[in-house]
Structure 1
Amino acid sequence: MSESSFFVSAPGKVIIFGEHSAVYGKPAIAAALSLRAYLLITPSKDVNTLKLDFPDIGLSHSWNKNDIPWEEIRSHVKLVDGRPQITEELIPEIVDNLGSVLSNLNSTLHYTACLCFLYLYTQLCNKDIPGMSFCIRSTLPIGAGLGSSASTAVCLATSLAILGDQVERPSYGMNEKSTKKESTDLDFIDSWSLMGEKCFHGNPSGIDNAVATHGGAVMFQRMSNPAQPSVRTTMRNFPPIKLLLTNTKVPRSTAELVGGVSRVNSEYPKTSSSILDAMEHLSTNAYQIMVRPFFGKEERKTLRELVNINHGLLVALGVSHPSLEKVKIISDTWKLGATKLTGAGGGGCAITLVDDDVTEEVIEKGIAEFEKEGFDTFETSLGGKGVGALAYSDVPEELRERIFSPEVFCAYSDRLEIENALSTDNLTGWRFW
């Protein structure tokens, strides 16, 4: 194993306030999850080989670095103070030039992941950097509206920015608060991960990657005038809160649900506008509580009350589902905490902000009942750190060979094995910006 090996990790996200009302220009709040993506970077045996493994989607692909049309691609990259300049959209000429090294991928998902990787690699790195192997694993359910693609894009952008000497290595420990109000390195990672998200989703909001990069929570608001940029306010030091995340595994169409709210808004404009205005006030109240420097028991209690109110407003808009109501009934029966749907609704996931005095025994009984209904429930936390890195030298010597082994990492069988080995809580060497 080599000292140039390192890990990068970034969290998923949940929307805690303001789903659907955000479509109508109201503020919404998303927060980081302790469920994360992990990316291991190790030197390739051949200095000319680039390798990308993503076992969770069955992807393993490699390239000869010399087959990449570097000159054509770099002719479209503008540098500002030595850093590649971000663009509003993907540069079509670069996407076109990458076509020659992506043509043998026959899965749309694999093509998209490889496009994201190479699009970022060719701009953040250069052809003189020795070949590296990248293996990414996610403890986030994929396709559940929890920002799994954004956490992947943030991991890729961060690792490539480190390899290309575009950012400094992080220095803050897990329990240290950043003293910087702004971090140009994090802003750089955030911007480039958005380009990676555009490979996955075309026109993402930028919220998922902002939360995965900065951690904590983010309040965002789309302006009614499309020419005006969205407003984003990060709450980086929002402390972790115990959370249950329950995936009903009921598929839903976001477009249909948004369309249903639009119909309600057209047919009952006065009623609908009152609900949307209430959601706006609720998000604003939540933000004022979440930015308090001393966030304690009273603040958590108020947030849980707002969570219950927000769920009721979403039910009134018609976006709940029997499976989500079942989650809420079980949670209320066991007095686990405050539960609401998260995301588009109509199935998908629900979150429960756990009460301070709930015992682990009661939580386990509640989870057992969720599982009887066929749901997947994760004990996790809301808020906490954003993207971080784990250097080879920051891991105890006796653990290095196992921790930084691509074979071991790629072979972890499930989320729990990954978290037990690599969790930012279990390994003290993780550093953050």
Structure 2
Amino acid sequence: MVEAPFLVSAPGKTIIFGEHAAVYGKPAIAAALSLRSYLLVSAHSPAKAGQISLEFPDIKLQYSWDIASLPWDHAPSKATTPDSLCPPSELHEPLVEALETPLANIYSSFQRVAAHTFLYLYCSILSPSQTGVTFSIRSALPIGSGLGSSASVSVCLATALLLLAGDISQPVHTAEVDHGKTLDLVEAWSFLGERCMHGNPSGIDNAVSAHGGAILFQRMGKGVPNRQESMTSFPPLKLLLTDSKQPRRTAVLVGNVGTLLHSFPKIAEPIMDSIEELTNEAFELFQKPVEKCDAQWAGKLREMIRINHGLLVALGVSHPKLELIRAICDENEVGETKLTGAGGGGCAITLVNEGITEDKIEILRKQLEEHGFELFETSLGGKGVGCLFPSQATASRWEDWEERVFSLHHLLALETRDHIEETIGVGAAKGWDFW
């Protein structure tokens, strides 16, 4: 069991191969991004010891609840042995229904879903005797752009609550400690958080966010466990990610692909089969040792990205803005570009050619911004969930580093994603540790 303050961080994800085909039981490959969400758990004053608070300024959510007033009688019984801490894969409906009362005064659907996820996990993992704390979330991820921001938040919440409950411990890097069990537990609880947000998620987003790296994921039939294979040798890859700022509805896009398959099965089904073959070949490519991931290896990967985008275009899930992003990237000869996720808007990813300079990327950035797009420089295959405690942190470039990093006031005042990363980011604040 740990005490506040402490920070938790988890990455977003991007699907590299297999989107849309995964809906029909075919494999998909997803990788963690270096863009992350951050959660600060800070202690309340004695006067507020009986309250919990949730601060999520990126979606303008700020709310508090009396701990005693939460529907504890409807929460699932807490497992008492380490072997049974893992939750069921289905939501506990009595708790879902009972949470309508503490959520009654939150009218925004976006804010309500976030608060519901938080309260469901809080009541399921902790107990009424928990001392009040504030949970403050900041994200360096674009929210609602298909980059797994909700899963990243769910992983942060699940990890923080499990630490507070004493169900998991801080990372200890010895041969006797199996961090895989910790990450599996975080993954299982965060999947329930994803269920609160999305109803029937695939599980790929929170799996990548918890474990990091990259995974091949495939939903199997009823009664058959999903296929999930980690790619431990996945090399760090420099990636450009462009947000089209075009909203889209995943359910509509998935439905349109279903209609296409029904109307033109002899045409659309071979496209799905080709995406599957492409994903399997990419998986084999990623199994090579890192030292063999040379220029030829990277060139083949870029070619596969180009082909995958063309197949998705044929399924009708691109968008004029995504095609414009791809055209601008092609004109600047920075690499190969494809849509990621559901398409119809959202983001595009570009696997960068070798030798591309920062000057050339800045030229590209300006051209994209002229069209209202936003460019992020990121990398694939980074660390999964991690934590930072004051006892582990070392002095940064600020004299008041501890106040800045673990201060609720400073966290809420950070204005941009760059400010978040520069102040509390995994690459900025020293002492972050990972399971």
Q: Which of the five TM-score ranges fits, normalised by the shorter chain?
A: over 0.9
The correspondence for 1:245, drawn from 223, 241, 246, is: 241
Contact 2:11 2:33 in 1 (8 A): yes
Contact 1:73 1:94 in 2 (8 A): yes
Q: For the residues of structure 2 that align with 1:100 and 1:272, how far apart are their CA atoms? A: 46
Give how far 1:179 is off: 11
Question: What stretches of structure 1 move > 6 A for 4+ residues in a row?
Answer: 177-182
- 1:113 match: secondary structure: helix
- Tell me what 2:421 maps to: 419
Give how far 1:17 is off: 0.2
Structure 1, gaps ≥5 residues long: none
- Tell me what 1:186 maps to: 183
Give how far 1:83 is off: 5.3
Residue type of the partner of 2:433? R
The one-character-per-residue Cα deviations of 1:404-427 (angstroms, maximum 9, x if unpaired) are: 110000110011100111221222
Q: For the residues of structure 2 that align with 1:181 and 1:28, how far apart are their CA atoms? A: 27
Contact 1:186 1:213 in 2 (8 A): yes
Q: For the residues of structure 1 that align with 2:175 and 2:147, how far apart are their CA atoms? A: 25
TM-score scaled by structure 1? 0.92
- Tell me what 1:275 maps to: 271
Residue type of the partner of 1:21? A
Give how far 1:349 is off: 1.1
Q: For the residues of structure 2 that align with 1:66 and 1:285, how far apart are their CA atoms? A: 54
Q: Which has the higher mean CA deviation after the structures are superposed, 211-220 or 309-318?
A: 309-318
- Tell me what 2:402 maps to: 400
Please state if 1:28 is matched with 2:28: yes
- 1:102 match: secondary structure: coil
- 1:419 match: secondary structure: helix
Residue type of the partner of 1:308? R
Distance 1:324 1:249, change over 3 A: same
Give how far 1:82 is off: 7.2
TM-score scaled by structure 2? 0.92
Give how far 1:149 is off: 0.8
Residue type of the partner of 2:136? C
Q: For the residues of structure 2 that align with 1:382 and 1:62, how far apart are their CA atoms? A: 36
Give how far 1:4 is off: 3.2
Distance 1:262 1:101, change over 3 A: closer
**Correspondences of 1:225-236 after superposition (within 5 Å):** 225-236=221-232
Contact 2:171 2:179 in 1 (8 A): no
Q: Which has the higher mean CA deviation after the structures are superposed, 229-238 or 362-371?
A: 229-238
Distance 1:157 1:316, change over 3 A: same
- 2:34 match: secondary structure: strand
The correspondence for 1:293, drawn from 270, 286, 289, is: 289
- 1:393 match: secondary structure: coil
Give how far 1:274 is off: 2.2
Structure 2, gaps ≥5 residues long: none
**Correspondences of 1:374-393 after superposition (within 5 Å):** 374-393=372-391
- 1:367 match: secondary structure: helix
- Tell me what 2:316 maps to: 318
- Tell me what 1:198 maps to: 195
Contact 1:84 1:124 in 2 (8 A): no
Give how far 1:87 is off: 1.7
- Tell me what 1:5 maps to: 5
- 1:183 match: secondary structure: helix
**Correspondences of 1:15-414 after superposition (within 5 Å):** 15-45=15-45, 46-70=48-72, 72-74=73-75, 76-81=77-82, 84-171=85-172, 183-223=180-220, 225-236=221-232, 238-295=234-291, 296-298=293-295, 299-397=297-395, 398=399, 399-414=401-416
Distance 1:179 1:266, change over 3 A: farther
Give how far 1:102 is off: 2.6
Q: Which has the higher mean CA deviation after the structures are superposed, 344-353 or 316-325?
A: 316-325
Residue type of the partner of 1:431? D
Give how far 1:103 is off: 2.6
Give how far 1:183 is off: 0.5
Residue type of the partner of 1:41? V
- 2:387 match: secondary structure: strand
Give how far 1:198 is off: 1.0
Q: For the residues of structure 2 that align with 1:417 and 1:328, how far apart are their CA atoms? A: 29
Q: For the residues of structure 2 that align with 1:178 and 1:146, how far apart are their CA atoms? A: 34
